[in-house]
Amino acid sequence: MPERVTLARYLAEQRPETRGLDELSGLVQQVTDACKGIADAVRGGALRGVLGSADAANTQGEEQKTLDVLANERLKEAGLWGGRAAAVASEEEAEAVPAPAGQPSGPYLLLFDPLDGSSNIEVNVSVGTIFSILKAPSEGTASIEDFMQPGTEQVAAGFVVYGPSTTLLLTLGNGVAQFTLDHGAGEFVLVNDNVQIPAQTKEFAINVSYQRFWEAPVRRYIDECLQGEDGPRGKNFNMRWIASMVADMYRIFTRGGIFIYPRDANRPDGRLRLMYEANPMAFLAEQAGGAATDAHQRILERAPEQIHQKVPVVIGSKEEVDRLTGYHQAS
């Protein structure tokens, strides 16, 4: 039997003996502890009374589910108490939330999408949590401007999938590790310390219902995939689309693929949020040997202009991302 390595032990073994990374490990632990509670609520579903609408909308104007609200509150509490984060920013809230008065202001900033794919809750499809951690530029109270850092400045990122098993993918900037939650013991346990996205793939994930709005390079790429072994790609492709980014991306981290949420005639800025979804996923993808662009440039190099900024996303197996990005750059 391989030696059992818990997340707490993994974090302890990763950090040098400096206060900064010690605090980072503590913040990651607090976030993942909150995710354990969210996982329990998701597992309970109707038995926990957490399904259905919260009869409210988030700052994006999207309907909030009861679980959206629960997950948001769990993660806010995890980030704001304990003195490890100066402020948190959530996809569900208009403004960043500073650490409470009287609490120590930590050296980090926490961003999160508390429940990605929440429209799938009632149909029992996998949902998840995405998070990103930045260094706070200065000591003391953080402002919204402090969050305006490119993705290259992330010091940690991860996502949790609440599926048949509860799975965490995490990077501290030195590769990607995968953990599975042992619900009985209440611990995330390491199952793969070197996750790698295959460079080549035969799968793509895109919402084809928007095909009539796509730009020409996206049409070209998907048309070539659909032509299969008789077309210019010389191989057959399968389409996969779960409408839950965490679920689609977990599949790509596991067996390769490309996830595409492009800009189109209806969404000229794309659909996904740069700070809460694109940046952490791009950081993880690059650390696992994949690639991530906005179809023209590396996502991690984009300078954010506002906290809820949207961005087109092309992410996954490097050869496929490079191909589609090249089509855009040549158009």
Query: Could you tell me where the beta strands, DSSP code E, fall in 44-153?
Result: 53-57, 63-65, 85-90, 97-98, 108-116, 127-135
Reported as a single tens digit per residue, the pLDDT across 29-46 is 999 999 999 999 999 877
Does 116 belong to an annotated binding site?
yes
Does 173 belong to an annotated binding site?
no
Q: Sort strands 53-57 and 258-261 into parallel, antiparallel or unpaired.
A: unpaired
Q: What is the DSSP letter of 122?
A: G
- What's the one-letter identity of residue 165? S
Question: Is 155 part of any domain?
Answer: yes
Q: What is the pLDDT of residue 13?
A: 87
Task: Using the 3D structure, point to which of 141, 165, 192 is the last residue of a domain.
Answer: 192
Does 194 belong to an annotated binding site?
no
Q: What is the pLDDT of residue 16?
A: 55
Task: Using the 3D structure, point to which of 172, 192, 212 is the last residue of a domain.
Answer: 192
Question: Is 214 part of any domain?
Answer: yes
Reported as a single tens digit per residue, the pLDDT across 214-234 is 999 999 999 999 999 999 999
- Assess whether 121 and 78 both reside in one domain: yes
Question: Is 103 part of any domain?
Answer: yes
Does 226 belong to an annotated binding site?
no
- Assess whether 220 and 100 both reside in one domain: no
Winning range, highest mean pLDDT, from 91-100, 114-123, 184-193: 184-193
Quick one: which of 100, 52, 60, 101 has its CA closest to 76? 100
User: Residue 124's pLDDT band (boundaries 50, 70, 90)?
Assistant: confident
Q: What is the pLDDT of residue 21?
A: 66
Mean confidence (pLDDT) of the chain: 92
Q: What is the pLDDT of residue 15?
A: 66
Reported as a single tens digit per residue, the pLDDT across 233-256 is 999 999 999 999 999 999 999 999
User: Residue 206's pLDDT band (boundaries 50, 70, 90)?
Assistant: very high
Count of domains observed in the chain: 2
Where do the H-state alpha helices sit in the chain?
7-14, 19-44, 66-80, 216-226, 245-255, 279-287, 318-330
Q: What is the pLDDT of residue 181?
A: 98
Q: What is the pLDDT of residue 82?
A: 83
Torsion of CA 41, 45, 50, 56, to 10 degrees: 110
- Percent of residues, the chain, with pLDDT higher than 70: 92
98 bridge partner residues:
87
Does 115 belong to an annotated binding site?
yes
Q: Note whether 269 and 213 are within 8 A (CB).
A: no
Task: Using the 3D structure, point to which of 164, 192, 220 is the last residue of a domain.
Answer: 192
Q: What is the DSSP letter of 155?
A: E
Question: Is 197 part of any domain?
Answer: no
Q: What is the pLDDT of residue 123?
A: 87
Q: Note whether 264 and 147 are within 8 A (CB).
A: no
User: The tokens of 21 are what?
Assistant: 């990374």
- Assess whether 82 and 11 both reside in one domain: yes
Does 91 belong to an annotated binding site?
yes
Question: Is 219 part of any domain?
Answer: yes
Task: Dump the DSSP string for 162-227.
Answer: ESSSEEEEEESSS-EEEEEEETTTTEEEEEESS----S--SEEE--GGGGGGB-HHHHHHHHHHHT
Q: Which residues constitute the domain of residue 111?
A: 7-192
Quick one: which of 321, 309, 297, 327 has its CA closest to 215? 327
Question: Is 326 part of any domain?
Answer: yes
Reported as a single tens digit per residue, the pLDDT across 263-311 is 999 999 999 999 999 999 999 999 999 999 999 999 999 999 999 999 9
Q: Given the structure tokens 């399968």, which residue do they identify?
A: 238
Q: What is the pLDDT of residue 3?
A: 85
Does 145 belong to an annotated binding site?
no
Q: What is the number of residues in the chain?
A: 331
- Assess whether 300 and 177 both reside in one domain: no
Does 119 belong to an annotated binding site?
yes
- Assess whether 183 and 240 both reside in one domain: no
- Percent of residues, the chain, with pLDDT higher than 90: 78
Q: What is the pLDDT of residue 118?
A: 84
Q: What is the pLDDT of residue 141?
A: 74
Reported as a single tens digit per residue, the pLDDT across 158-197 is 999 999 999 999 999 999 999 999 999 999 999 999 999 9
Q: Given the structure tokens 């595409």, which residue do they identify?
A: 260
